[in-house]
Amino acid sequence: MTAPNSTAQVTLAAASLVDAATGAAATGQVKVAITPIDPASQTSAMPGSYKADNGQSIESFGAIQVHLTDAATGKPLQLGAGKTATIRIPVKTRSQTIPATIPLYYFKESTGLWVQEGSATLQHDATLGDYYEGSVSHFSTWNADKPIEETVHVTGCVRNADKSIPTQAISVLTDGLDYSGAAFASVDANGQFDVTLKRNGRATLTANSSETSSSQLTLEASATDIKLDTCLVLNALPVKPVFLLQPMATTPLVEGQPGVLMAGALGAGQLRYQWFRNGVALAGQTWPMLSLDKLTAADAGAKYTVVATNQGGSVTSNELVITLTSAEALAQQAAFYALYGAIMQPLNLSAAARDTVDDDTGNMLAPTQICSSGQVSALTLDTKDVLGGEPLAPGVVHQLNVTFDNCAPINSTQTNKRFTGTIASRVKYDTTGSITAQSVLTAMHDDDTTLVANGEFWTSLSSTGSSWTPQKGATLNHITNSGTNTLTYTGGSMESSLGADKAPSTVQFRDLSFTINKVSYTFNGQMSLPMATSDDIKLQSGGKTIARMYFDPSTRLPRVDITGTLPAF
């Protein structure tokens, strides 16, 4: 079972489920509800605190909730004794460094703490991004977490607006800015607190009660304990909540499948939520996330709102009108994304030449300095073995050959992209830090697909972006267990700009043309990350638009409309 438009997934073996209460073998159909959790957007979306049962603080790189029920009776199901399942957790984190392997933790509701059990490995989907994959022996909320090995203490005091010591219960919270984690501490009778923070991490600091809160203070990175010079001051009057995330579907809502809505508000004190459907309150639905049962045609057009309340008052969210898509339409979208990803693969392969060069100096990196995991087993520049430090003379075309073995390049703009195979390229460096790479033969594999490219793929990469121009007649073969698909480029180009985090922020297609099975196609348009209302990419064939990807403001998600026949890829 896979969450729509997400890498979140559960794979179950046959006859592995039992009745959670009695242990009797489960028979018949099973209802699987998968809810991805994004701690990078909102750390409070995670149940409990970021604390393990051994007392250690943890930071999250993504989580999922999995609920299994008997489709006929609604009774909860679980994995039987000795049985396991494979889960995939989408990577969602505020950290710039993503580990190749990570411990798995499950949430123990009886204690409100996280318990480590097993581990997961980092994988990559060319369309949907990175995810962690691991094996579990039971279901609840599973979290891909890294223990915070070192913390510093933040000490200080809290006062009321009139400078008196608060008499009500006050908690102090640190919320990571460059890591997805949080820590809590209580204020003592003297108005003093001691709360932890990831060492050398950045975070916000606030004091909260059930009625009010302080202004938010930003804590900069520190290797030592921090003592605040001034007290945190509680606001004299409670402030109403403000919705930072209006109601939205976490994935496209598909007829015949369950779905999840989510929203998020910020306000003083303890927030309470209440969901409404068509103006009627939904009993027991008092969390930021709302799980929807199997959706039917009758759900189309339903209107959902959520009310957030604290001591300052209540505020009602915007209205979300449910739009359903069919499983067939979702499959067409998947086919479009697969084609889009296939067309873009040579860009990753050409960019791999840059990953062997120090951007700042223009010198070659030693083979041991290129990969954060995996290795480079062979690297030559102008037929000579590279030891590290060899300069790329500005304006000179060099011949570079490199063999990657499951390598995640440190210098790559393609986050955690893994390469296995060989690249032969001609590269040219200039004093501005730009590198032009002409890949003349590339053979790589990613996951279960082998990519073999023949021809010339010109890629110019700089600190602000890249341009990519496959030469006419260049080919790309995708080889899988089911066969080989061949794509031949006939013209056009693609340009991308980089955001502040060095990740692609805008992609522009300019008549990027290719043929598959002797049928000609062209990509035109622009896409941003995240998508904007003006984004629009068209796939055309025979002078007609056969597919279009654009931003759907009603769901705030990408939407793909198919009006013709897509090539299988």
The pLDDT tens digits of the residues spanning 31-87 come to 787 888 888 877 877 888 899 998 899 999 999 988 888 777 777 889 988 899 999
* 3-state DSSP assignment of residue 298: helix
Across the beta sheet with 242-249, the strand order is 242-249, 259-266, 289-292
Helix (H) or strand (E) holding 403: strand 397-407
DSSP state, residue 115? E
- What is the distance between the alpha carbons of residues 241 and 237, in angstroms, rounded to a whole number? 13
| CB neighbour class for 167 (10 Å; exposed up to 12, middle 13-18, buried from 19) | exposed
Average pLDDT, stretch 473-501?
78
| DSSP class per residue in 540-553 | EETTEEEEEEEEET
For residues 107-127, give the mean pLDDT.
Answer: 87
Q: Which residue has the higher pLDDT, 453 or 449?
A: 453
Higher pLDDT, 310 or 274: 274
- Stretch among 127-136, 336-345, 409-418 having the lowest mean pLDDT: 409-418
**pLDDT given for residue 528 in this prediction:** 77
- Written as six digits, the tokens of 425 are 């390229």
Phi, psi of 357 (to 5 degrees): -115, 140
What's the mean per-residue pLDDT of the chain? 83
Compute the residue count for the chain: 569
Q: Return the pLDDT at 500.
A: 52
Interatomic CA distance for residues 131 and 74, integer angstroms: 30
pLDDT bucket at 133, cuts 50 / 70 / 90: very high
Q: Is the peptide bond before 409 cis (omega within 30 degrees of 0)?
A: no
Instruction: Lowest mean pLDDT of 5-9, 134-138, 145-149, name the range.
Output: 5-9
The answer to whether residue 556 scores a pLDDT higher than 70 is no
* Residue corresponding to tokens 């990571």: 176
Q: How far is CA 320 from CA 287, 302, 323, 551, in A?
A: 16, 8, 9, 16
- Separation in Å, CA 182 to CA 46, 227, 539: 10, 19, 44
Q: Rounded to whole angstroms, how far apart are CA atoms 340 and 539?
A: 9
Q: Is 542 exposed, middle or buried (0-12, 13-18, 19+ CB in 10 A)?
A: exposed
Instruction: List, in sequence order, every residue forming a beta bridge with 271; answer none if it has no partner.
Output: none
Q: Are 271 and 263 in contact (CB under 8 A)?
A: no
Res. 373 pLDDT band, cuts 50 70 90 = confident
Which range (54-68, 349-363, 388-402, 474-488) has the least confidence? 349-363
Strands (E) in 74-224, as ranges, are 77-79, 85-90, 101-108, 113-125, 129-136, 141-147, 151-159, 171-176, 182-186, 192-198, 203-208, 217-219
* Mean pLDDT along residues 313-323: 91
Is the pLDDT at 282 greater than 50? The verdict is yes
The pLDDT of residue 513? 93
Calpha distance 269→311 (Å, rounded): 7
Closest CA to 403 of 388, 386, 415, 389: 386
- Report whether 258 contacts 1 (CB < 8 A): no
Phi, psi of 334 (to 5 degrees): -60, -40
Coil, strand or helix at 218: strand
Average confidence (pLDDT) over 96-125: 90
Banded model confidence at residue 414, pLDDT cuts 50, 70, 90: low
* Among the listed residues 250, 262, 259, 248, the one whose alpha carbon sits nearest the alpha carbon of residue 327: 259
Instruction: Extract the tokens encoding 521.
Output: 């196609």
Position 122 pLDDT exceeds 80: yes
Q: What percent of the chain has pLDDT over 90?
A: 34
**Interval 526-550: pLDDT, tens:** 887 666 778 899 999 999 999 998 8
Predicted confidence at residue 415, as pLDDT, reads 47
Q: What is the CATH number of domain 151-233?
A: 2.60.40.1120
Of residues 158 and 345, more confidence is placed in 158
Q: What mean pLDDT do residues 403-424 have?
A: 72
Q: For residue 189, what are the contacts with CB-CB under 8 A and spacing of at least 6?
A: 165
Specify which residues 158 forms β-bridges with.
Answer: 232
Q: Which CATH architecture has domain 242-325?
A: Sandwich (2.60)
> Quick check: do 151-233 and 242-325 share a fold?
yes
**Which amino acid does the sequence have at 395?**
G
Phi, psi of 516 (to 5 degrees): -135, 125
Q: Which residue ranges make up each domain of the chain?
A: 9-146, 151-233, 242-325, 327-562
Q: How far is Cα 402 from Cα 382, in angstroms, rounded to an integer?
A: 11
What beta strand segments (E) does 91-147 contain? 101-108, 113-125, 129-136, 141-147
Q: Is 135 left (phi over 0), alpha (psi -120 to 50) or beta?
A: beta
Q: In the structure encoding, which two tokens stand for residue 535, read together?
A: 């984004």
For the residues 410-428, what does the mean pLDDT come to? 70
The pLDDT of residue 275 is 96
With CA atoms as reference, report the closest residue to 521 among 550, 549, 485, 492: 492
For residue 72, count CB atoms less than 10 angstroms from its CB and return exposed for 0-12, middle for 13-18, buried for 19 or more.
exposed
Would you state the torsion angle of the CA atoms of residues 278, 333, 492, 396, taken in this order, to the nearest 10 degrees? 100
Range name among 81-95, 116-130, 444-458 with the lowest pLDDT average: 444-458
For residue 416, the model assigns a pLDDT of 47
Check residue 162 and report its DSSP letter. Answer: T
Please give the pLDDT value at position 440.
54
